A = this chain, B = another copy of it.
Amino acid sequence: MSAEILCIGTELLLGNITNGNARWLAEQLAALGIAHQRQSVVGDNRTRLMAAVREVAGRCRVLITTGGLGPTPDDLTTEAIAAAFDTPLVEHPEIWADIQARIGARGRFCSPSNRKQAFLPAGAAVLPNPTGTAPGMIWTPPAAPGIQPGFTVLTFPGVPSEMEAMWFATAEPWLRSAGLADGVFASRMLRFWGVSESALAEQMADLLALENPTVAPYAGAGEVKLRLTARAGSVAEAQILLAPLEAQIRVRSGRACFGVDDDSLASVVLEQMRRRGETMAVAESCTGGGLGAALAAVPGASDGFVGGVIAYANSIKQALLGVPQALLESQGAVSDSVAIAMAEGARRATGATWAIAVTGIAGPGGGSTEKPVGLVHIAIAGPDGCSSEAVRFGATRGRVWIQRLTSGEALNRLRLRLADCPGAQL
């Protein structure tokens, strides 16, 4: 009952693009409990593509291909797969009518080359493409020696969004109804800030060894994640396996766990604001707007985020945030006292309940022994006062990395401050 993935495209072999489709499909197969033992990539070459398809047909039950379904001469997936099993192509008039209608609706000319997309091997079913012109197919070639019994090919275009829509609409239900999916998986991603991947893995060592549910750690830009996955007869049963595991991880990790699944530090902080009926502002020096952008990336951010000041130059810190020139001169722009003056200035200027200020040295230039690249001061001002603390991110991973960590760390500090603060409900 195993599956293989075959991605088709010379651009993959030239290293022009990363094979994100293979990863995405692999994740889907894992979620369905379908064993997946090999992935391959071949170019837009008929002979080599035919050879690869025949090899796979001798090894596994399901072949999933991506790429090569377009209208150009380079796109030869359907034709090569048909030829690999000595099967003629037949035209599907309903596909051709659909392609003409879609291209016409965009006010474009439908070229004769599009017509080849309406041809599938005899006996193949259409795998509809709701968002693009190139449909795929679900095809079980005629039984023959050297072909696994029931061997079936599912073809997808290389455009990720089209592939994904086709997967959920048709391919996944087909795999389930064909009895290929082994049980049901449910998974949950727990998100952490302020703990290293290795420290978290050590803390959860016994849980990482579990077989069902499983726990797997991932590291991102400052964030660490644990993916919890359970297999069971139904989604409800799988959820029942996950719940006590999640509870145990949350108890062990304490406040480092900030959210689940699609949560971000920004979305969690904005949710705190919403529940409290409060607002927040930012005053950014070294991040130059990145902290605000993280907040603005969350749909509905305007409920809690009012904006703020990008005080990149010292003149802006003075003019828009009222940071005293004397303070800038005596303490330097990268200092707790300036961070505090920025946060208080932002709160005053915007009228927001809370303000975060960040000032630091993102590098590569501008560092000194006393104030090295990676040093950042983060202040939070609120109704109960203002405090600032320094953090050192180090210089090795570069400017943009320091800017990203600064935004995350600042949001996390506000999250914890709100959690401690009267009125907190999160």
Binding site for B on A (CB under 8 A): 11-20, 22-30, 36-43, 45, 48, 52, 55, 216, 218, 227, 279, 281-282, 284-297, 299-302, 305-313, 315-316, 319-320, 349-351, 362-365, 399-400, 403
Contact = CB atoms under 8 A, between A and B. Distances in A.
Contacts of A24: 15
B299 A399 contact: yes
B307 A310 contact: yes
A295 B299 contact: no
15 contacts: A13-B39, A18-B23, A19-B19, A22-B41, A37-B42, A287-B293, A288-B305, A296-B310, A296-B312, A296-B362, A297-B400, A307-B311, A307-B312, A315-B350, A319-B350
A365 B300 contact: yes
A310 B349 CA distance: 12
Given A312-B306, A350-B319, A37 B30 contact: no
Contacts of A362: 296
Given A284-B289, A351-B319, A18 B20 contact: yes
A265 to B, nearest CB: 15
Contacts of A320: 309, 320, 349-350
Nearest to A398: B299
Contacts of A30: 13-15
A37 B23 contact: no
Contact of A364 (B227, B295, B299, B316): B299
Contact of A316 (B11, B294, B350): B350
A48 B2 CA distance: 13
